[in-house]
Amino acid sequence: MTDAPAQLRADTDRQRARPARRVGALMLAVVVALLALAPAARAADRFDRAFHWSGYRWVVRSTQKPGSPGHNRWGDSRSNVRVRSDKTLRLDIFAGRSVEVIGPPTGYGRYRWVVKTNLSTIDPFRVAAFFVDGMDGEQDVEFSRWGHPELTATGTWVTWRERTRLGFGPFGVSSAVPYTLDIDWRPATTRFTVRDATGARLLDTTHRSSRPGRHTAPRMSYWVYPGLGTNLSTFTSATVHPPVIVQSFSYRRLRR
């Protein structure tokens, strides 16, 4: 005869284990996605267009052939990126071309973006990224579901040494905009913080990081994640994507 309380405990343990396994599987999927999108050489890139915004000069990436991350084509038209009349920056995936802009060469310091778009419900196959990139390191705050509609934590922080991922973690994102994103890159460590309009800290973590090396600069991108396995994007060049609006950017050196 089966002991009823023992059987009940076993059934309860199995029920509790299912969500944990589900979350673990989703996090594994995100890790795989991030590894597949590790920083890579961009030899075919062009930077023919430049503009001034938030006190800095920015250049716009463009490619003729698909490039990393995500095998995207990158466009530099005004439909991809432009400064609006209210001085905010509009980033758009337009006519099948994603967008990436690169700021001035800087170095260690605090990089701050204020983002007006609600990214708590971002489409599973879109990625909005705010990051600092050098020859030997990269620090990212990204918003995506990496092809999984059921993923509720749409924020991700990542730190890279060249193509090696040193650290990664998800975080939940509220709908209270604007968000203030800080990447504090110091020798040996990087601190990632994200606050929403109420002042709530959605993210506050510090992790060891590599030296940035030469050509360290802030970047922003808005692009299509193609998906993996059976979770594949169905976007076409005719898909109309909602824009990402960035209110401002600032940089300042930090005491070591």
What pLDDT shows up at residue 3? 42
The predicted pLDDT at position 44 comes to: 84
Residue 96 structure tokens: 């099948």
Q: Which amino acid is at 58?
A: W
pLDDT, residue 214, reads 86
User: Which CATH number goes with the domain that contains 224?
Assistant: 2.60.120.200
CB 104 within 8 A of CB 56: yes
Q: Taking the complete model, does pTM exceed 0.75, yes or no? A: yes
* Per-residue pLDDT tens over the stretch 24-65: 666 556 655 655 566 655 658 999 999 999 999 999 999 999
Buried b (16+ CB within 10 A) or exposed e, 3-32: eeeeeeeeeeeeeeeeeeeeeeebeebbbe
pLDDT for residue 215: 87
How many independent structural domains does the chain possess?
1
Strand partners, 180: 114, 195
* Other CB atoms within 10 Å distance of the CB of residue 191: 19
144 is in which domain, residue-wise? 4-252
Which parts of the chain have pLDDT scores under 70?
1-43, 256
